[in-house]
A = this chain, B = another copy of it.
Amino acid sequence: MLQSLGKQDAPMDAYRQLFDGILSQRLSPGTKLNEVELAELFNVSRTLIRQALQRLQLEQVVEIHKNRGAYVASPTPDLAEQILLARNIIELAVVKLACKHCTQADALYLQQMINLEQSAIDQGDMATALRRSGEFHLQLAIVAGNQPFIHALRGLISQTSLIITMYNHGGGNACARDEHSHLLEAVKCGDESKAQELMAHHLGHIKQGCDFTQSPQVAGLQVAFAHLNAS
């Protein structure tokens, strides 16, 4: 609904399937991504699978080891720290820009995304909620209108999802709704310092909600893409 593409685009489809699978927590960090298996699941050739995997690698969501295959990335606590620090720097700049550039239409759209996220939370679908939360942050960068920030955040937000999947077992991200709402309010008012303060707190909460002492279990491909195995 947020991103309806008219004509089908095989490479993008394969990419998106994998991307969504990872961000929806169906594919756990560390899962091996077998090329032929994926090719058969998606009914395309390995060529397109490899394209998708390479792209995901460059977004840091997948690790590819030469001659040994692709794996869903599993950021270490140290890397997680770096990622959240980078997000803090970039998103503080982003909200500042957003305060300047946010139109009424932008604000409305952002509000809709918040509502969608909330409805996912209400239905107990935390995986979808997490994905939509990421989409909200990305949309903020789009509103800010800085291409490099958009590009960088796409990867960083995805990686943050992995981090939350791995380390945030408590699920303390439920407070996101109010935080996003308040943030949007500040952006609409053009209150830069307030918006930055809220963003800093928001990102701080993500970090606080994580316990960097335990690792997650790894699920297989068939489980992750069970909804495709109609045949």
**Oligomeric state, in copies:** 2
User: Looking at the complex, which of A86-94, A167-175, A177-185 is the stretch in contact with chain B?
Assistant: A86-94
Bound: A59/B58 CA distance, A = 9
A93 near B82: Cβ-Cβ < 8 Å: no
A89 near B90: Cβ-Cβ < 8 Å: yes
Instruction: Confirm or deny: A83 has a beta carbon within 8 angstroms of a beta carbon on chain B.
Output: yes
Closest-CB distance, A31 to chain B (whole angstroms): 21
Instruction: Confirm or deny: A16 has a beta carbon within 8 angstroms of a beta carbon on chain B.
Output: no
Residues in B with CB closer than 8 Å to A85 are 146
Partner among B55, B146, B155 whose Cβ is within 8 Å of the Cβ of A151: B155
Instruction: Confirm or deny: A124 has a beta carbon within 8 angstroms of a beta carbon on chain B.
Output: no
B60 near A58: Cβ-Cβ < 8 Å: no
Instruction: Confirm or deny: A139 has a beta carbon within 8 angstroms of a beta carbon on chain B.
Output: no
Number of A interface residues at 8 Å Cβ cutoff, please give it.
25
CB-based nearest B residue for A66: B9
Closest-CB distance, A152 to chain B (whole angstroms): 4
A151 near B60: Cβ-Cβ < 8 Å: yes
Instruction: Confirm or deny: A6 has a beta carbon within 8 angstroms of a beta carbon on chain B.
Output: no
Instruction: Confirm or deny: A214 has a beta carbon within 8 angstroms of a beta carbon on chain B.
Output: no
Residues in B with CB closer than 8 Å to A79 are 147
Residue-by-residue, is A81-112 near B (CB-CB < 8 Å gives 1, otherwise 0)? 01101110110010000000000000000000
> Which A residues lie at the B interface, using CB under 8 A?
51, 54-55, 58-60, 79, 82-83, 85-87, 89-90, 93, 145-149, 151-152, 155-156, 159
